[in-house]
C-alpha cells in the first residue's frame, strides 16, 4: 500500500480537546454549559448507535445532552410540536433530528421547523441558503469535518481539481459548496454522470459520498490524489466505504479509512456547532 492513511479518530480527538478548552470561558460567562437536544424517532438500531455516540461525545467534552425518543408512529404535527418545544427551551442550544425519519413523516418540513440558530446540522433552508450565498451560518457536520481533515492534512485546495461523487443535501451539495469557497475547481458527479471513473481520475482531491459500497476503485483515482471516503455501507463483513480502500490505496497519496476516517469528524463538528450555536444565541464571544 502506497497511501498514507488519514487518521480521523486522532484529528477528531484534537478537535474535541479544543472544544473542551473553549467551553470553559463560555461556561464562566454564560453561567451554564451548552445543551444539545437529540431527537430519534423509533428504534432503528443503526440510528440508535449513531445517536448514542453523539450523546457520549457530549458527555466527554462537557456539553449537556437532552434526548427525546418518540415512537415510530408519531404524527407529523406531534413531531413538529416536539421541535417547537425544543426551540422554545432556553437550555437547548442545538437540535438534531436524526435522519432518516420513518416514511410517513416529511423530513424537509420537520427540519424546516428547527430554529435556524439551533440548527447544528446546518440543514434548515436558512443555513443552506447562507451557505449557498457564501456566508455560512451553521455548517453541516460531515462536510465541515471533511474540510477540517483536509486542512489538517495540509491539502492545498486553491486551484485544485476536486471531484465530489454524490449530491445529497446532507453531504454532496454542501461539501461541494465549501470546497468552492476554498477556491477549488469543483465537479459534482451523480448517478447520471457519464464515465464516472474518467471524471474522478482528474481529481487532485476525490470526495466520495454516494452510499454505494466500493463504487470507486483504482481506475477512479489519479496517482497521488487525496481520497476522502464519506460512505458508510453496512455489508455482512462489516462497514465499508464508497471507495475500494485496498485498490485505491495503491494509487492515492492519502486516503481515509472506513470506519475511522470521516465518521469521527462528523461527531466532533457537531460538538463544535453546538458551542457555536450557544455562543450565537447568548451573545457570548468566548
Pairing of strands 94-97, 64-68: unpaired
Q: Which is nearer to ligand GUN, 41 or 97 (CB)?
A: 97
Q: Which of residues 80-119 bind ligand GUN (CB under 6 A)?
A: 96-99
103 belongs to the catalytic site? no
Q: C-beta of 266: minimal distance to ligand GUN in Å?
A: 6
Among 65, 142, 274, 276, binds ligand GUN (CB under 6 A): 142
Q: Which is nearer to ligand GUN, 98 or 139 (CB)?
A: 98
Please tell me which residue in 93, 115, 119, 121 is annotated as part of the active site.
121
Helix (H, G, I), strand (E, B) or coil at 32: coil
Nearer to ligand GUN, 97 or 201 (CB): 97
Q: Which long-range contacts (CB under 8 A, 24 or more apart) does 70-77 make?
A: 70/39, 70/41, 70/42, 71/41, 71/42, 72/41, 72/42, 72/43, 72/102, 73/102, 74/41, 74/105, 76/104, 76/105, 76/106, 76/109, 76/110
Sheet holding 161-165, edge to edge: 4-5, 254-255, 226-229, 205-208, 161-165, 185-189
If binding is defined by CB under 6 A, does position 5 make contact with ligand GUN? no
Name the residue nearer to ligand GUN (CB basis): 55 or 218: 55
Tell whether residue 128 is a contact of ligand GUN (CB under 6 A). no
Q: How many other CB atoms are there within 10 angstroms of residue 14's CB atom?
A: 13
Alpha helices, DSSP H, located in 116-253: 125-132, 141-152, 172-181, 196-200, 245-249
Of residues 186, 180, 175, the one with CA closest to residue 143 = 175
From first CA to last CA, the distance across the chain in angstroms is 44
Minimal distance, residue 27 CB to ligand GUN, in Å: 26
Smallest gap from Cβ 255 to ligand GUN, in A, equals 21
Question: Which of 80, 121, 148, 204 touches ligand GUN by CB under 6 A?
Answer: 121
Nearer to ligand GUN, 100 or 223 (CB): 100
Q: Does 124 bind ligand GUN (CB under 6 A)?
A: no
Could you tell me if 13 and 71 are in contact, meaning their C-beta atoms sit under 8 angstroms apart? Answer: no
**What nine digits make up the cell of 79?**
413531531
Q: Which of 65, 127, 139, 266 binds ligand GUN (CB under 6 A)?
A: 266
Q: 141: Cβ–Cβ under 8 A, 6 or more apart, which residues?
A: 120, 121, 122, 265, 266, 267, 269, 270, 273
Q: Would you call 76 a catalytic residue per the annotation?
A: no
Q: Decide: is 229 part of the binding site for ligand GUN (CB under 6 A).
A: no
* Distance between CA atoms of residues 269 and 194, nearest Å: 34
Q: Does 165 bind ligand GUN (CB under 6 A)?
A: no
Per annotation, catalytic residue among 54, 115, 119, 204: 54
| Sole binder of ligand GUN in the list 15, 105, 141, 155 (CB under 6 A) | 141
State which residue, 65 or 142, has the beta carbon closest to ligand GUN: 142
Q: What residues line the site for ligand GUN (CB under 6 A)?
A: 96-99, 121, 141-142, 170, 266
Catalytic residues: 54, 98, 121
Amino acid at each position: 500500500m502506497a497511501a498514507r492513511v488519514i487518521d480521523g479518530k486522532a484529528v477528531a480527538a484534537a478537535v474535541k480537546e479544543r472544544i473542551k478548552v473553549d467551553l470553559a470561558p463560555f461556561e464562566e460567562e454564560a453561567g451554564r454549559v451548552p445543551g444539545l437536544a437529540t431527537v430519534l424517532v423509533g428504534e432503528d438500531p443503526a440510528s440508535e448507535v449513531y445517536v448514542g455516540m453523539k450523546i457520549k461525545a457530549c458527555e466527554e467534552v462537557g456539553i449537556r445532552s437532552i434526548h427525546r425518543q418518540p415512537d415510530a408512529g408519531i404524527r407529523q404535527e406531534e413531531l413538529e410540536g416536539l421541535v417547537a418545544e425544543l426551540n422554545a427551551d432556553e437550555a437547548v442550544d442545538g437540535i438534531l433530528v436524526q435522519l432518516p425519519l420513518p416514511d410517513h413523516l416529511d423530513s424537509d418540513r420537520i427540519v424546516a421547523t428547527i430554529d435556524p440558530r439551533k440548527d447544528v446540522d446546518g440543514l434548515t433552508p436558512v443555513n443552506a441558503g447562507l451557505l449557498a450565498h457564501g456566508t455560512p451560518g451553521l455548517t453541516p457536520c460531515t462536510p465541515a469535518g471533511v474540510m477540517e481533515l483536509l486542512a489538517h492534512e495540509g491539502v492545498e485546495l486553491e486551484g485544485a481539481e476536486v471531484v465530489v461523487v454524490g449530491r445529497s443535501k446532507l453531504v454532496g451539495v454542501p461539501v461541494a459548496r465549501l470546497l468552492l469557497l476554498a477556491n477549488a475547481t469543483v465537479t459534482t458527479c451523480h448517478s447520471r454522470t457519464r464515465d464516472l471513473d474518467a471524471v474522478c481520475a482528474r481529481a487532485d482531491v476525490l470526495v466520495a459520498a454516494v452510499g454505494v459500497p466500493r463504487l470507486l476503485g483504482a481506475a477512479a483515482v489519479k496517482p497521488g490524489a487525496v481520497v476522502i471516503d464519506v460512505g458508510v455501507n453496512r455489508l455482512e463483513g462489516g462497514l465499508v466505504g464508497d471507495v475500494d480502500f485496498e485498490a485505491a490505496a495503491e494509487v492515492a497519496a492519502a486516503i481515509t479509512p472506513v470506519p475511522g476516517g470521516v465518521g469521527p469528524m462528523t461527531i466532533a463538528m457537531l460538538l463544535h456547532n453546538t458551542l457555536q450555536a450557544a455562543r450565537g444565541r447568548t451573545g457570548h464571544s468566548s
